[in-house]
Amino acid sequence: MTRAIREHSKLVSGLLTIGWLAIACQGSFAQMPASWVLPTYPTTAPIEGKVTVADRYSYREQRYDPPVKVDHRVPKELQRDDTPEMAMIGRVSAMMNQDYEWWLSTWDQEAQRLTADNDRAMGRTAAYWLQWWDDMFRSGTVALVRRIETRQYVVLTYRLVAPSGEDVGGGMELPVVFRKVESRWLATLDLREDVLVPASPWVSGRTTIEEAVR
């Protein structure tokens, strides 16, 4: 397994942690732990109950048919970002061209700041990303699989595929979230704490997940 795929695995496992944890936790609320502290005065017998907060998300799903392989790069001077798809092609081209500054410019301002902060905290430089992309595109290229709209965001999902179309990314389907800033579609980390994208119901087929908070 190449380093790029390993990195993808780490990214996906991180993204999906909330979703899987939630699924794994379901049912655990049925049995509360025994009381560890008791009232001083007489009471009625204890009644166990639960309060449920149901968060609802709507989204519109389309599949690219056939999947769109991004196997040739758009020259930087011809890049467009008037649709999420074109912005994605520009983003992938920046990665294929090993152009860190171009890639950074495909994020919105807040995501650029978060990426810089995160890189600083992790001791990463541009060289880290360049190496990652080099590994990634040696094993395959990006194929757009799905387009998800959820309110003002568009999530494009992709897989890593060989020139033959065969999956070389361990079967994983990764999301990139875009939002429109003035007339430009830019990648964003706005949904980094959101449940919908890590849960990726368009991949899992689930319509509900249950989470025991306590």
Partner 1 sequence: MARTAKLPEGKSWARGWPEIFPRVWVSATLGVAVLASHVAIAAGAESFEWPSFNTTLPEEKQFAVNRHYGYRLRAYDPPVAIKYMERKPESYMGPEEVLAGLVSAKRAMDYEWWLSLWDASSRDLIAERDRQGGGSRGVRLKAWGAQREAGAATLMRWVETGQYVVLTYRYGAANGNAGEPPVTFKLSGDGWVATLDLVRDPVIHYLVTGQQRIEQVIR
CA gap 34, 86 in Å, rounded: 56
Nearest to 167 by CA among 134, 145, 146: 145
Nearer Cβ to partner 1 (8/147): 147
CA gap 150, 106 in Å, rounded: 20
CA gap 59, 155 in Å, rounded: 10
* Interface mask toward partner 1 for 82-111; x: CB under 8 A: xxxxx--x----------------------
Paired tokens of 25:
């936790």
Name the minimum Å distance from CB 92 to partner 1: 12
What are the strands of the beta sheet with 174-181, ordered from one edge?
141-150, 153-161, 174-181, 184-187
Nearer Cβ to partner 1 (5/22): 22
- Answer whether the bond into residue 66 is a cis peptide, omega within 30°: yes
Q: Which residues contact 10 (CB under 8 A, 6 or more apart)?
A: none
Name the minimum Å distance from CB 45 to partner 1: 8
CA gap 192, 173 in Å, rounded: 17
Longest CA–CA span in the chain (Å) reads 78
Q: Footprint of partner 1 on residues 114-173 (CB under 8 A)? A: 144, 147, 149-151, 154
Kindly indicate which of the ranges 56-64, 109-117, 121-129, 164-172 contains the residues binding partner 1, using the contact rule CB under 8 A: 56-64
Nearer Cβ to partner 1 (126/195): 195
Instruction: Choose which of 77, 101, 182, 193 interacts with partner 1 (CB under 8 A).
Output: 77
Size of the site for partner 1 (CB under 8 A): 70
Q: Is 195 in the site for partner 1 (CB under 8 A)?
A: yes
Name the minimum Å distance from CB 187 to partner 1: 15
CA gap 103, 101 in Å, rounded: 5
Kindly indicate which of the ranges 6-14, 36-44, 97-105, 124-132 contains the residues binding partner 1, using the contact rule CB under 8 A: 36-44
Chain positions contacting partner 1, by CB under 8 A: 22, 29, 32, 35, 37, 39-66, 68-70, 72, 74-75, 77-78, 80, 82-86, 89, 144, 147, 149-151, 154, 180, 194-196, 199, 201-202, 206-214
